[in-house]
Amino acid sequence: MRAVPQPTHHAHLRAEDLSKGFEERPVLSRISLTASAGQRLGVIGENGRGKSTLLGLLAGDLEPDAGSVTRHGSVAVAAQELPFADDDTVGTVLDRATAAARAALSEVDGSAAALAEAEPGADDRYAAALAEAERLEAWDAERRADLALAALDAPADRSRRLAELSVGQRYRVRLACVLAERADVLLLDEPTNHLDATGMDYLTARLREHRGVVVLVSHDRVLLDEVCTALLDLDPNAEGEVVAHGGGYSAFKAAKAAERARWEQRYALESARDAELREKVAAAEARLITSWRPPKGAGKHKRATRAPGRMRTVARRLDELTGQRVPKPPEPLRFTGPDLAAGPDEVLLGASGVTVPGRLRPHPDLAVAACGRLVVSGANGTGKSTLLAVLAGRLAPATGVVRHGAGTRIGLLAQESDFADPSLSPARLVRDPEPLRALGLLPDVDLTRPVGRLSTGQRRRLSLALLLLGSPHVLLLDEPTNHLSITLVDELTEAIRVTSAAVVVATHDRRLRRDLDSWPRLDLI
Ligand SMILES: Nc1ncnc2c1ncn2[C@@H]1O[C@H](COP(=O)(O)OP(=O)(O)OP(=O)(O)O)[C@@H](O)[C@H]1O
């Protein structure tokens, strides 16, 4: 008799003591987690902390150096980049996503035929096939996929080649398929990066109603708040442990700040106690050397020669105690926006009548004054990135004119960070690494690693650093929060609010839009 398939609520994911490193560098050390049906775990932490690596291990795409992962139920993954073959199409991804549903339907047909033939055990087989098809809502799989593709504004034409799609479009195709698949365990890496407001609402609703397990890596504070039942913080606490916090991001932020304050307080207290003890020991030692000289031949002489030994024992014991003390709280990377100049002209940048066929429709003219601010908004495909590329002079418009003020420096942070030679390190990409270090965007250890080995967020940090080092008078920021850690998003928001440079931001990030809601807006349609 065939086993009756497990219903979705038996979905379960368990990782025990997972460790993983690359090129002798430990990235994750002894991470354990458990997630059962109905639990939605957000994974957060600084860029390069190992969030994508953890998802890769949970998915079984990466082998751990130690530890194990147990999965109950089917798993669907949307990684930051979708690997694809040259001839893969939207249809290929859809077929893979609906394969289980199609198999379930064909089993229903096969077992129904067996039932009609009165084959032994056919009734059990038919019941199992029906249960599996119902669990997968298999009859509805194609329609669900179409709905998801439409809601996420992903290309629905089955014959479109993936190679011809943008990174964002490919991600949306993959995400739509993952959401339509009805897998038990969903593993999503930065799912909001390429979504507009409609897409984010759709994603949020699907995740909230998912009956299995969700593990998602995200910098999107609103998504973490609205979707997650717990957050796993990969930045270790005072005990060196990685722990999960119940609730969404707002609760976590408060708990994390309180924990950091306690850690700093404890460290200060233990350091003061330690210093006091050491002072006392040093003073006792000094007294011993300078003032206590018993006459030779006296019994006291033996005690005198033993005394320094005792002092050494005390000093050793003190060193041991120091080893057991709470470690110094790590100094987090702190990004401070550099002092950018306001620009040489009253109007630094202007555009009128600018269009690009198929990418950017007519829209109101725009003029960016010195110290000016502008938020560009619009659904996916309305041409925000195209407009920014045109404004930066990287793309020629088909109609209209773009005016750059004389001597005005314009810098663009594009959505994706591409580096021509991935073997070069950040330090080799600049003439002088010191200003790069001073920005506080990359730790020293990453300044000398090849760019191709850095994590996605670390590469985006580098792009941001290179942009700022050019001291632009106008900052054009295309989805600036994508791939960045939440801490840096907060710091960057503050920096662009106060900088003397003019700033144009295109973003779907709901929290950032709220933070910048006093800025003028240009809505593309
Ligand atoms: N294949 C690889 N070879 C060498 N180093 C790697 C490899 N994959 C990841 N790393 C390193 O492992 C660390 C963790 O990378 P990972 O992408 O998991 O981090 P992350 O927390 O997801 O980062 P981000 O927030 O920037 O996306 C980084 O220092 C990265 O450079």
CATH superfamily assigned to domain 347-523: P-loop containing nucleotide triphosphate hydrolases (3.40.50.300)
Please report the atom of ligand 1 found closest to the CA of residue 45.
21
At residue 290, the pLDDT reads 64
Give the residue whose CA is nearest to atom 14 of ligand 1: 50
Task: Tell whether ligand 1 has an atom less than 6 A from the beta carbon of residue 20.
Answer: no
Task: Tell whether ligand 1 has an atom less than 6 A from the beta carbon of residue 53.
Answer: yes
Measure 47 CA to ligand 1 centroid, in angstroms.
8
Task: Tell whether ligand 1 has an atom less than 6 A from the beta carbon of residue 56.
Answer: no
Q: Which long-range contacts (CB under 8 A, 24 or more apart) does 168-173 make?
A: 168/193, 168/194, 168/380, 168/415, 169/194, 170/82, 170/84, 171/78, 171/80, 171/81, 171/82, 172/199, 172/380, 173/82, 173/90, 173/93, 173/149
Give the residue whose CA is nearest to atom 23 of ligand 1: 48
Task: Tell whether ligand 1 has an atom less than 6 A from the beta carbon of residue 50.
Answer: yes
Give the residue whose CA is nearest to atom 18 of ligand 1: 50
| Enclosing H/E stretch for 18 | strand 12-22
At residue 347, the pLDDT reads 87
Rounded distance, CA 266 to CA 51, Å?
29
Q: Are 192 and 220 in contact (CB under 8 A)?
A: yes
Q: Decide which of 3.10.20.310, 3.40.50.300, 3.40.50.2300, 2.30.22.10 is the CATH code for 8-99+140-254.
A: 3.40.50.300
- Taking the chain (525 residues) in runs of 10, the rounded mean pLDDT of each run is 50 96 92 95 95 97 97 92 87 92 94 92 93 90 94 94 86 94 94 92 96 95 94 90 88 88 88 82 73 58 62 73 77 74 84 94 93 92 92 96 94 91 95 92 94 94 95 95 91 92 94 96 93
Rounded distance, CA 34 to CA 44, Å?
16
Write the ipTM.
0.92
User: In DSSP terms, which residues pair with 202 in a beta bridge?
Assistant: none
Task: Tell whether ligand 1 has an atom less than 6 A from the beta carbon of residue 218.
Answer: no
Please report the atom of ligand 1 found closest to the CA of residue 460.
26
Measure 52 CA to ligand 1 centroid, in angstroms.
7
Give the residue whose CA is nearest to atom 29 of ligand 1: 48
At residue 2, the pLDDT reads 44
Rounded distance, CA 397 to CA 356, Å?
5
Q: DSSP alpha helices (H): ranges in 136-181?
A: 141-151, 167-181
At residue 83, the pLDDT reads 80
Please report the atom of ligand 1 found closest to the CA of residue 55.
18
Residue-wise pLDDT for 85-121, tens only, equals: 889 999 999 999 999 999 999 999 999 999 999 999 9
For a mutational test of ligand 1's pocket, the pick from 20, 25, 27, 171, i.e. the residue with the most ligand atoms closer than 8 A to its C-beta, is: 27
Task: Tell whether ligand 1 has an atom less than 6 A from the beta carbon of residue 81.
Answer: no
Residue-wise pLDDT for 305-344, tens only, equals: 566 676 777 777 777 777 777 888 877 667 777 778 887 7
Measure 208 CA to ligand 1 centroid, in angstroms.
28
Structure tokens at 329: 């709280």
Structure tokens at 5: 């398939």
Measure 422 CA to ligand 1 centroid, in angstroms.
14
Task: Tell whether ligand 1 has an atom less than 6 A from the beta carbon of residue 51.
Answer: yes
For a mutational test of ligand 1's pocket, the pick from 53, 61, 489, i.e. the residue with the most ligand atoms closer than 8 A to its C-beta, is: 53
Please report the atom of ligand 1 found closest to the CA of residue 449.
31
For a mutational test of ligand 1's pocket, the pick from 19, 232, 455, 487, i.e. the residue with the most ligand atoms closer than 8 A to its C-beta, is: 455
Measure 425 CA to ligand 1 centroid, in angstroms.
15
Whose tokens are 């992962």? That residue is 69
Rounded distance, CA 193 to CA 484, Å?
10
Rounded distance, CA 441 to CA 143, Å?
45
Please report the atom of ligand 1 found closest to the CA of residue 458.
26
